[in-house]
Amino acid sequence: MKQFADSTNATFSDLTETATLCPYCGVGCALNYGSDSEGVIHYAKGRDGASNAGRLCVKGRYGFDYAAHPQRLTRPLIRRDDAYPRGPLSTFSRANSSGPRKPGGIVDYAEVLPHFREATWEEALERAASGLAKVRDTHGAHALAGFGSAKGSNEEAYLFQKFIRTVLGTNNVDHCTRLCHASSVYALIEGIGSGAVTNVVRDVENAEVAVIAGCNPTANHPVAASFMKQAAAKGTGLLAVNVRRPGMASYCEQYCQITPGSDVAFYNAVMHVIIAEDLHDQAFIDQRTEGFEALAKAVKPYTPEAAEAMTGVPAAQITAFARRLGQAQSAMFFWGMGISQHVFGTDNARCLIALALLTGNIGRPGTGLHPLRGQNNVQGASDAGLVPMYYPGYQAVSDASVRERFEQLWNVSLPEQPGLTTAEITHAALEGEIRGLYCMGENPFLSDPDMNQVRKALSSLDCLVVQDLFITETAEFADVILPASAFMEKRGTFTNTDRRVQIGRPVRQPPGQARQDWHILRDLAQRLGHDWDYADESAVFDEFVQAAPLYANLTYDRLGEHGRWYPCPDANSEGERVLFGDQFPIGRGRFVPAELGQAPDLPDDDYPLVLNTGRQLEHWHTGVMTRRSRALDALAPEARVEVHPSDAKRLGITDGSWTTLRSRRGAVEVQAHITRDVALGTLFLPMHFREAAANLLTTPELDPFGKIPQFKICAVALAPLSTPLTPPQPDAVSHAAG
């Protein structure tokens, strides 16, 4: 007879569960890591967080092992003297090199490490401080710039911008929000006076309809997507608009596949129908808004028939969309990079805001504007002032009285000159105006458009300090690389896309001599003559709250294990889910009409296809973390360019075959994936893969307001490739820029 064999695992009972957060996207899922005494994380379990209710996605569940990757930096590194002139060190970072990936590596350490030597912290910090100081003393403070990170905590973001502004003396500080929602934030501040979401994702369950515009939540915000799908199952009508079919389309009542860059025409036509059929909310317009007449006039020519020609969406579909939205009692608007990453990204966002104002869909349950924030702390980093135009709490640098208040708070005199944004900093470096850069947790080499120009810009610097977990592509150009801490090694607050402020907690120590990022910042500030002294992270947070009334009533104690939303009206409040029930921060909401613009770099005979770039489920930005996660790497080891079956047939390309993808700026070699998700004449390439770097191809033009690059449209040519080139071997390293 069989016996019950109790197979309890002794190792398991030694594990500690720590309540913390997912390090990836802006949904901000709460989770527990189960870790042992060595700091090895064995599993991630979903925790009952406000935004995830115990759910996780593949990245949160399986992507935690990057922190323990053998390539983690454990000692400060200094560029060897013979590694100058400054330039890229690894094969794929050199000019136009692309092709099959060499197994095992992101940046190939065997190629790069020989050009650096290990140093003590004393030497490395001195080298960093003196390097930055030398630029400041030689070329002035405005020849310096800092790139912070949306992956760091609020405290780190706060201290980084404070460091750049008070220690280096310039407003040239920015982060990757510039690459994702800068245009949305500009339009939101202009239209309603607040750049954050007006309602949380999960309130979609109370919405009669939800517009899913230019975003792909099943890949980029999977847990948020699960709530949208659940709402759809219970009756919420999802309406998707996208050039590329999002996974969510299967759950939508309607999916409109618009042609690239035609968003404004589509939404103007929707507004045209809503006004023409008297489906707008006149009472809301009268009481809460201004500028309606101008909007009505602007959208008048955008009949559904006219828009059909511009968007490729049949007029009847546009009308049906408008009616469903106009007749709904409540509607939420979710959008992503498909709206924002255009030279007319701000105009695109203005249309969605106008649509919400027009239909009275802000300020009630089941209504609201929700730009889905990409990174775990992109909301918080912006809140903390990690942008050139605002101090913490969106207080304008250009406002003299604000500046005076901050001078008092920080006890320094602050620069008046407005700062440059991310892409502007790169452009200024090419002009020789930016000479020194401090880069904390960002990887502009891969994340910024037109890599060939970025390569030149980074090569041209006099001083580059990189603070990161690994030798990133950007770090290949550095004078000093400072080994820093991973998410699961630090304590700090993180603000998710819902404005929920939550505490992340350490489960392991930084490896070797790697240090807490805020300790590095503090020591550099002290080294440069500033008397920074904080007891711990919560003291930094308290100063941030003091600087930013937006975060009033929040403290570490009150945030506890579950966090709170900001704004938080009093000490006992959970914070506010739905904002602006009575009025907007600027009083009345503003309709800002937009006209359909013309994108640069459109297709012609030589470059007949439109390339769209973006993310995929298993990966994250430049892959620094996810490609060092065994699970995520195994699930999605290589880049694929998505090709429509008819284009593939015409070009003689089969699924999985190698191709050359060429734009006016560069070319990559990449395997094809044939799918109807992309429209005829369009392609999609994920941005995560250095060996098929999408940003070798993208165009550097910016939106004039949000200064966001146009990642979503560039003209390309696609051709089959019989045998992919093998990357050249590292023996012929040239340090010069390509």
Binding flag, residue 691, another protein (CB under 8 A): no
Q: What is the DSSP string of 526-595?
A: HHTT-----SSHHHHHHHHHHH-GGGTT--HHHHTTT-EESS--STT----SS--SS-BTTBSEE-----
**Residue 691, phi then psi, degrees to nearest 5:** -80, -10
635 forms part of the interface with another protein (CB under 8 A): yes
Q: What is the 3-state secondary structure (H, E, C) of 714-725?
A: EEEEEEECCCCC
> Rounded CA gap, 439 and 444, in Å?
9
- Asked if 422 and 174 touch (Cβ cutoff 8 Å), the reply is yes
How far is the C-alpha of 371 from the C-alpha of 355, rounded, in Å?
Answer: 14
* Residues in binding contact with another protein, number by CB under 8 A: 45
Does residue 645 bind another protein (CB under 8 A)?
A: no
486 near another protein, judged by CB under 8 A: no
Q: How far apart are CA 443 and CA 248, in angstroms?
A: 30
CA distances from 247 to 100, 267, 278, 372 (A): 28, 22, 33, 16
Of the candidates 55, 202, 577, 665, which one interacts with another protein according to CB under 8 A? 55
Give the x/- contact pattern for another protein in 93-132, rule: CB under 8 A.
----------xx----------------------------
Query: Following DSSP, what letter does each residue of 319-366 receive, concatenated?
Result: HHHHHHHHH-S-EEEEE-HHHHSSTTHHHHHHHHHHHHHHTT-SSSTT
Asked whether position 732 contacts another protein by CB under 8 A, the answer is no
Neighbours of 506 (CB within 10 A): 20
Contact status: 62 vs another protein (CB under 8 A): yes
Residue 609 or 639 having the CB closest to another protein: 639
- Residue 226 found at the interface with another protein (CB under 8 A): yes
- Reported as half-sphere exposure (CB side, CA atoms, 13 A), residue 56 has a value of 23
Please tell me the distance from the alpha carbon of residue 541 to that of residue 55, in angstroms, as a whole number: 28
Say what angle helices 537-547 and 400-410 make with each other, to 10 degrees: 150
Among 206, 230, 460, 657, binds another protein (CB under 8 A): 230
Q: How far is the CB of 501 from another protein (least distance, A)?
A: 25
Q: Is 1 in the site for another protein (CB under 8 A)?
A: yes
**Region of residue 163 (phi > 0: left; psi between -120 and 50: alpha; otherwise: beta):** alpha
Per CB under 8 A, the list member of 22, 57, 540, 579 interacting with another protein is: 57
Report H helices in 94-245: 109-112, 121-139, 154-162, 177-180, 182-191, 217-220, 222-233
Note whether 37 binds another protein by CB under 8 A: no
Q: Please report whether residue 276 would count as binding another protein according to CB under 8 A.
A: no
Question: Quick check: 587 binds another protein (CB under 8 A)?
Answer: no
Yes or no: say if 716 and 698 are a contact pair by the CB < 8 Å rule. Answer: no
Three-state DSSP state, 211: strand
In whole angstroms, give the CA distance from residue 644 to residue 580: 43
Distance CA 695, CA 711 (A): 8
The region of 221-229, 325-333, 527-535, 725-733 touching another protein under the rule CB under 8 A is: 221-229
Q: Is 5 in the site for another protein (CB under 8 A)?
A: yes
Q: Write the CA distances from 223 to 24, 254, 530, 616, integer angstroms.
A: 12, 21, 43, 14
306 sits near another protein (criterion: CB under 8 A): no
Q: Which of these ranges, 53-61, 323-331, 350-358, 390-398, lies near another protein under the rule CB under 8 A?
A: 53-61
Our finding on whether 13 is near another protein (CB under 8 A) is yes
Q: Which of 16, 54, 539, 549 binds another protein (CB under 8 A)?
A: 54
Considering the complex, what minimum distance in angstroms separates the CB of residue 24 from another protein? Answer: 13
Binding mask 379-418 for another protein (x = CB under 8 A): ----------------------------------------
Stretch near another protein under the rule CB under 8 A, chosen from 48-56, 108-116, 388-396, 685-693 = 48-56
Q: Which of 39, 58, 126, 583 binds another protein (CB under 8 A)?
A: 58
> 315-327 vs 304-311: helix axis angle to the nearest 10?
120
Kindly tell me which of 205 and 281 has the beta carbon lying closer to another protein: 205
10-18, 122-130, 480-488, 709-717 -> range binding another protein (CB under 8 A): 10-18
Nearer to another protein, 62 or 266 (CB): 62
State how far the Cα of 141 lies from the Cα of 429, in Å rounded to an integer.
14
CB of 658 to another protein, least distance (A): 18
Q: Which one among 18, 39, 61, 306 touches another protein, defined by CB under 8 A?
A: 61
Of 64 and 580, the one with the shorter C-beta distance to another protein is 64
Among residues 111, 633, 647, 703, which is the contact residue for another protein, using CB under 8 A? 633
* 218 sits near another protein (criterion: CB under 8 A): yes
C-beta of 34 vs 314, nearer to another protein: 34
Q: With respect to another protein, which residue has the nearer C-beta, 245 or 405?
A: 245
72 binds another protein (CB under 8 A): no
**Residue among 587, 637, 652, 704 that touches another protein (CB under 8 A):** 637
In angstroms, what is the minimal distance from the CB of 675 to another protein?
A: 13
Which of 80, 297, 300, 630 touches another protein (CB under 8 A)? 630
Judged by CB under 8 A, the residue of 18, 53, 534, 735 near another protein is 53
Number of CB atoms found within 10 A of residue 587's CB: 12
601 conformational bin, left if phi > 0, alpha if psi -120 to 50, beta if neither:
left
State whether the Cα torsion 78-80-86-87 is positive or negative: negative
Distance CA 8, CA 572 (A): 43
Residue 45 lies near another protein (rule: CB under 8 A): yes
Contact between 634 and another protein by CB under 8 A: the answer reads yes
Which residues contact another protein by CB under 8 A?
A: 1-9, 12-13, 15, 34, 42-43, 45-46, 53-58, 61-62, 65, 103-104, 218, 222, 226, 229-230, 232-233, 250-251, 617-618, 630-631, 633-635, 637
